[in-house]
Chain A
Amino acid sequence: MSVANSPTAQSSPLTMYEKLWQNHLVENNEGETPLLYVDRHLIHEVTSPQAFANLRFHKRPVRHPERTIATMDHNISTRSIKIDAAGEGAANQLRALEKNCKDFGIQLFGMGHKNQGIAHVMGPELGLTLPGTIIVCGDSHTATHGAFGALAFGIGTSEVEHVFATQTLRQTKAKTMKIEVKGNVGTGISAKDIILAIIGKTGSAGATGYVVEYCGEAIEALSMEERMTVCNMSIEFGAKAGLIAPDQTTFDYVEGKEYAPKDELFAQAVSDWKQLKSDESATFDTVLTLEAKDIKAQVTWGTNPGQVTSVDGIVPSPEDFDDAMEKESCMNALSYMGLTAGTKITDIHVNKVFIGSCTNSRIEDLRAAANVVRGFTATNQSVQSAVDAIVVPGSYRVKEQAEKEGLDQIFIDAGFEWRLPGCSMCLGMNDDVLKEGDRCASTSNRNFEGRQGRGSQTHLVSPEMAAAAAITGHFVDLNAKV
Chain B
Amino acid sequence: MEKFNTHTGLVVPFDIANVDTDQIIPKQFLQKTERVGFGKHLFHDSRYLDHSGKEPNPDFILNKAQYKGASILLARENFGCGSSREHAPWALEEYGFKVIISPSFADIFYGNCINIGLLPIQLNNDEIDQLFAQANKEELKVEVNLTNNTISFAETCFSFKLDNFHKYCLEEGIDSVGWTLNKIKTIEAFEAKMPNWQ
Footprint of B on A, CB under 8 Å?
Answer: 1-2, 4-5, 26-27, 31-33, 35, 37, 39, 46-47, 49-50, 53-54, 58, 60, 74-75, 87, 89-90, 92-93, 96, 130, 132-133, 138-140, 142, 153-159, 161-162, 165-168, 170, 172, 174, 204-205, 208-209, 235, 238, 240, 261, 265-266, 268-269, 272, 304, 325, 328-329, 427-429, 446, 448-451, 454
Contact = CB atoms under 8 A, between A and B. Distances in A.
Contacts of B17: 325, 328-329
Contacts of A133: 198
B194 to A, nearest CB: 6
Contact of A204 (B18, B166, B186, B198): B18
Task: Sort chain B's interface into a size bin.
Answer: 35 or more
A33 B184 CA distance: 16
Contacts of B163: 33, 172
Given A26-B186, A156-B86, A159-B111, A238 B198 contact: no
B197 A266 contact: yes
Interface in B140-154: none
A268 B198 CA distance: 10
Contact of B195 (A1, A47, A304): A1
B38 to A, nearest CB: 11
Contacts of B32: 49, 89
B162 to A, nearest CB: 11
Contact of A304 (B18, B86, B178, B183): B18
A4 B82 contact: no
Given A37-B187, A46-B30, A304-B18, A165 B86 contact: no
A270 to B, nearest CB: 9
A2 B21 CA distance: 40
B22 interface: yes
A449 B176 contact: no
Nearest to A32: B165
Contacts of A96: 33
Interface string B86-126: 11010000000000000011111001100110000000000
B81 interface: yes
B177 A92 contact: no
A168 B180 contact: yes
Interface in B38-92: 45, 51, 76-78, 81-87, 89
Nearest to B31: A89
A261 B9 CA distance: 56
Contacts of B23: 448-450
A162 B114 CA distance: 14
A92 B33 contact: yes
A33 to B, nearest CB: 5
Contacts of B197: 130, 261, 265-266, 268-269, 272
Interface string B159-192: 0000111101000000111101101101100110
